[in-house]
Amino acid sequence: MAKEITLPTERQKPQNYNPRLLVVFGLPKSGKSSAMASLDNNLIIDLEDGYRSLEVMAVQARTVSDLFGIRDAIQKKIKETGKQPYRFITIDNATRLEEMCLGYAAVLYRKLPMAANWGLLKDKNGMLIKDKNGKPVPDPKADVRTLPNGSGY
């Protein structure tokens, strides 16, 4: 005999009020951006200019340098006021974030001893090609996502 189920008649109180990280995913045009726009005190870091039709607190970022600039501005505001300036921060979207960070990821990976010459352009003799300042030239086709066993992550 099955256990008798009692259906709820009201909402339950949250048990985990503030998750540190939340990933929202879904089909295009399913309301993800609108849901994020509805959150009070939410800074949206917009990577693809997708919030023009919504009333939001958004800042545009197109490069990794932009992301560092946003981070620095937030840290400066925290120092000035002694408190967090936003309750939430949304980065939209993850695919574009990954694309933006690939060059920087390659730079970080090359800082590892085992990868010092990875992803650099070489001539037909296997010698590094250098720019006018004598620095090795990164290969624009180098992609840390293709390294074996997830080494690039």
DSSP 3-state of 44: strand
Mean pLDDT, residues 37-41: 93
Q: Give CA–CA dist 91/58, Å, rounded.
A: 10
The DSSP-derived string for 81-100 is HSS-S-SEEEEE-HHHHHHH
Write the Ramachandran bin of 132: left for phi over 0, alpha for psi from -120 to 50, otherwise beta. alpha
pLDDT at 22 over 80: yes
Asked if residue 146 and residue 108 are part of one domain, the reply reads yes
Helices 64-81 and 94-110 sit at what angle, rounded to 10 degrees?
A: 100
With the C-alpha atoms ordered 130, 136, 138, 143, is the resulting torsion angle positive or negative?
positive
Question: What pLDDT is recorded for position 35?
Answer: 93
Q: Give CA–CA dist 103/62, Å, rounded.
A: 13
Question: What pLDDT is recorded for position 62?
Answer: 95
Q: How many helices (H) and strands (E) does the chain have?
A: 3, 3
What the block records as the tokens of 152 is 């690039």
In single-letter form, the type of residue at position 122 comes to: K
> Is there a domain that residue 29 lies in?
yes
Domain with 128 in it? 103-153
Mean pLDDT, residues 103-107: 90
Mean pLDDT, residues 123-146: 91
Asked if residue 71 and residue 36 are part of one domain, the reply reads yes
Question: What pLDDT is recorded for position 17?
Answer: 67
Please state the domain count of the chain.
2
Could you give the residue ranges of the DSSP H alpha helices within the chain? 32-37, 64-81, 94-110
pTM of the model: 0.76
The share of the chain scoring above pLDDT 90, in percent, equals 61
pLDDT tens string 62-86: 999 999 999 999 999 999 999 999 9
End position of a domain, from candidates 92, 122, 141: 92
Asked if residue 55 and residue 31 are part of one domain, the reply reads yes
> Is there a domain that residue 59 lies in?
yes
Max CA distance (Å), the chain = 81
> Is there a domain that residue 39 lies in?
yes
End position of a domain, from candidates 92, 116, 144: 92
